[in-house]
Structure 1
Amino acid sequence: MISSLLSPFNLGNRELKNRMFAAPPPSLTCDFNGMATADTVEYYQRLAETGVVAVIVEGAAISASARTWVKQLDIANPDALSGLSQLAEKIRRGGALPIIQLYHGGFNSIPVAGKKPSGPGRPALKKITAEIRPLSHEMIDQIIRDYAAAAMMAWNAGFSGIELQAADGSLAQQFLSPLTNTREDEYGMTNAFGAMFVRQAIRVIKSVTPDLMLSMRLSLKDLLPGGTSLNRTISQAKLFKQEGVDIFHVTEGLIIGNPILLHPAVGKNAPETPFSEDAQIFRNEVMHPLILSGKIGRPSNADQKIGRNFCDFISLGRTLNRNPGWPSYAGNPAEFNNKLPCLRCKV
């Protein structure tokens, strides 16, 4: 009998009807200027109609220099407002809360006008051969302003929540990892576990959109030698909780030129929910609501993770694209047994 997945949860002043979120992998449906297309709107409307409680829209670039992949959604250009508003409206009409992820790729971003990629500093990784331009204080201040402007755009478009991307190789994660943050100033790892940049981003987002739910996508471990440990992430997260993060959406790994794809914990043959034990430790230490992501397969397994306090919610990415009826199987697990699961053709 599955019960935890379908149980309500009070998050702040909101009662969420179940424990299932739609995760934000790139849909690659936007046009080359980052504008949402009819295909984008249709894609997210379908996700909302699956029965999940919330849909997190794919990472939206907060500036032209923040873009990390072709056809990435734009939330900096005023011309994007109409399409973003349609996304929020269709998701809400589909029965889910619309949330949008704010994204900056740091030195993983596509170079603009021949400029060198920018990041916290020169990464302490031999894999990185490109010349990285360290961010100046003026550049950091501008990025923080870009986060504020993007948050206001999300508010004006009608979104109910924002997710700050601080994992998956993003600029925010680059500041949080000793492998990518080699700065020796106040933004370095010796000051508050390297959390200063991210704390500033949280503050400006909360200051301009205090009524929006704030999720934070966070990597529990880098899964690379010398990288961020679970203990360091817990210390960072306690600071982010104080700044006003409402819920953490956890994963693992540090994506730089895709070395993470070689790690067995996240590869095609990894077991279901490979990060769940670390997530439980994190949840017990930070004592804050948590969304677990990564290789969510059987509804019965996801239900157990929630029932046994590994997490409060689960997020569904490729699994939901493969089986849009997955949320309905939470109430009828026998029916799921007759469906072809996600084959993980893409890690």
Structure 2
Amino acid sequence: MSIAFSPVSIGSLTLKNRIVLPPMQQYQGSTDGFATEYHQHHYARRARGGVGLVIIESTAVAPEGRLMTDDIGLFSEAHVAPLAAVAAAVRAENVPVFVQLSHGGRKSVPHGGGVLLAPSRIAYDDCYGLPEAMSAEAIAVAIEAFGTGARRAVAAGFDGVELHAAHGYLLHQFLSPLSNRREDGYGGSPERRWRLLAEVIGAVRAAVGPAVPVTIRVSASDHAAGGLEPEVVAEALQALVPLGLDAVHVSSGGLLPAPPPETGPGYQVRYAEAIRRKMKVPVIAVGQIRTREQVEDILVQGRADLVAIGRPLLIYPDLSRVL
């Protein structure tokens, strides 16, 4: 049997195979961040195609942390019911479903004209503008928002949650020395830069209990001098996993406007491999993985435990047409 279609566990949850639909924005949310019937049909159709796990798109935990004006959120109790319909549609296909919880930080489009927040007063670019450095009170509010979002996700019927600490959004901003120039308890050393993430994990684990899988998506490299590299990210993850993480989803980039220096088939797998060598929890590889040969090679060689396939499944939702 193909290793790609063998079972694997994430925490207490066993998946029927090792193929993951990663979170990809669909730009179909309402103005107020509500999921729609589009999301029900979109994610259920990909689940029907044969993946082992569906992770739905970045879902804002706070109105000021929305990534765009047509994303979706869990920043009010009213958001639960529409997302419960999405979760139910996926689970009806006998596939577990996670939701990715996010806060955009300095890469946000604050709903209702809220304040742009970040660890330090450093802009991503001219379009987003200059953020405010978060106060201790603002940090506490963000931590609570992640915990509340996780509680709502479980209430909506999701099987697990993924924390978005990649692609230049708030949790990534705190991790990277290029965006975090704080000199308090949340910056100034690697350990203090990952303190926020540790506290978010604690809040999320407290909200969902011990049995619900909690995973994290990280950018293993900032593709810039002085930024994050896999060794530093792995060190942070080694400290964070005991707090309640069940798997690590490895991507790269997004902190700076510049694109990665090189791309190509499986170009991010080396980051997943570097982190997997240090981890005792499953690692998910992602990034231009498009063929059965790629998938089998990654898994057989132990470079990752699961493989996420993104854009090909948008085009061909039936997994057999991709692999």
Q: TM-score, normalised by structure 2?
A: 0.94
Q: Return closer, same or farther for 1:105/1:124 CA change in 2, 3 Å cut-off.
A: closer
State the 1:224 CA deviation: 1.5
Does the 8 A contact of 1:53 with 1:95 survive in 2?
no
1:290 and 2:283 aligned = yes
CA displacement 1:19-62 (0-9 Å, x = unmatched):
00111110112211111111111111111111111110101110
SS state at 1:286 partner: coil
- In the TM superposition, 1:173-322 aligns within 5 A as 173-190=172-189, 192=191, 194-210=193-209, 211-256=211-256, 258-260=257-259, 263-265=260-262, 270-322=263-315
Provide the aligned C-alpha RMSD in A: 1.9
Does the 8 A contact of 2:214 with 2:246 survive in 1?
yes
Q: Return closer, same or farther for 1:208/1:111 CA change in 2, 3 Å cut-off.
A: closer
SS state at 2:73 partner: coil
State the 1:324 CA deviation: 1.5
State the 1:13 CA deviation: 2.6
SS state at 2:72 partner: coil
Aligned length: 322
Q: Return closer, same or farther for 1:240/1:102 CA change in 2, 3 Å cut-off.
A: same
Q: What is the rounded CA distance, in whole Å, between the counterparts of 2:163 and 2:128 in structure 1?
A: 28
Q: Return closer, same or farther for 1:10/1:130 CA change in 2, 3 Å cut-off.
A: closer
Does the 8 A contact of 1:125 with 1:179 survive in 2?
no
Does the 8 A contact of 2:176 with 2:227 survive in 1?
yes
Amino acid at match of 2:41: E
Q: What is the rounded CA distance, in whole Å, between the counterparts of 2:135 and 2:242 in structure 1?
A: 27
Amino acid at match of 2:175: L
State the 1:115 CA deviation: 4.8
Amino acid at match of 1:281: A
Q: What is the rounded CA distance, in whole Å, between the counterparts of 2:258 and 2:162 in structure 1?
A: 25
Q: What is the rounded CA distance, in whole Å, between the counterparts of 2:15 and 2:36 in structure 1?
A: 29
1:137 and 2:155 aligned = no
State the 1:191 CA deviation: 5.3
Q: What is the rounded CA distance, in whole Å, between the counterparts of 1:131 and 1:71 in structure 2?
A: 22
Q: What is the rounded CA distance, in whole Å, between the counterparts of 2:95 and 2:155 in structure 1?
A: 18
SS state at 1:250 partner: strand
Does the 8 A contact of 1:124 with 1:182 survive in 2?
no
Q: What is the rounded CA distance, in whole Å, between the counterparts of 1:129 and 1:322 in structure 2?
A: 31
Q: Identity of aligned pairs, percent?
A: 27
State the 1:226 CA deviation: 1.6
SS state at 2:297 partner: helix
SS state at 1:70 partner: coil
Amino acid at match of 1:284: R
Q: Return closer, same or farther for 1:44/1:114 CA change in 2, 3 Å cut-off.
A: closer
Aligned to 2:320: 328
State the 1:193 CA deviation: 5.4
SS state at 2:91 partner: helix
Q: What is the rounded CA distance, in whole Å, between the counterparts of 1:134 and 1:306 in structure 2?
A: 42
Amino acid at match of 2:231: N
SS state at 1:319 partner: helix
- In the TM superposition, 1:46-57 aligns within 5 A as 46-57=45-56
Q: What is the rounded CA distance, in whole Å, between the counterparts of 1:237 and 1:197 in structure 2?
A: 13
State the 1:128 CA deviation: 8.8
Aligned to 1:339: none
State the 1:284 CA deviation: 0.8
CA displacement 1:311-345 (0-9 Å, x = unmatched):
000112111111212x3258xxxxx5xxxxxxxxx
Aligned to 2:98: 99
State the 1:276 CA deviation: 1.4
SS state at 1:225 partner: coil
Name structure 2 gaps, 5 residues minimum: none
Amino acid at match of 1:264: P
Q: What is the rounded CA distance, in whole Å, between the counterparts of 1:242 and 1:141 in structure 2?
A: 22
Name structure 1 gaps, 5 residues minimum: 331-335, 337-347
Does the 8 A contact of 1:51 with 1:95 survive in 2?
no
Aligned to 1:165: 164
Q: TM-score, normalised by structure 1?
A: 0.88
Q: What is the rounded CA distance, in whole Å, between the counterparts of 1:115 and 1:80 in structure 2?
A: 19
Does the 8 A contact of 1:19 with 1:312 survive in 2?
yes
Q: What is the rounded CA distance, in whole Å, between the counterparts of 2:72 and 2:298 in structure 1?
A: 32
Q: Return closer, same or farther for 1:302/1:217 CA change in 2, 3 Å cut-off.
A: same
Does the 8 A contact of 2:29 with 2:35 survive in 1?
yes
Q: Return closer, same or farther for 1:65/1:301 CA change in 2, 3 Å cut-off.
A: same
Amino acid at match of 1:73: I
SS state at 1:131 partner: coil
CA displacement 1:156-204 (0-9 Å, x = unmatched):
1010000000001110000000000000011004151511000000001
Does the 8 A contact of 1:291 with 1:312 survive in 2?
yes
Does the 8 A contact of 2:13 with 2:213 survive in 1?
no
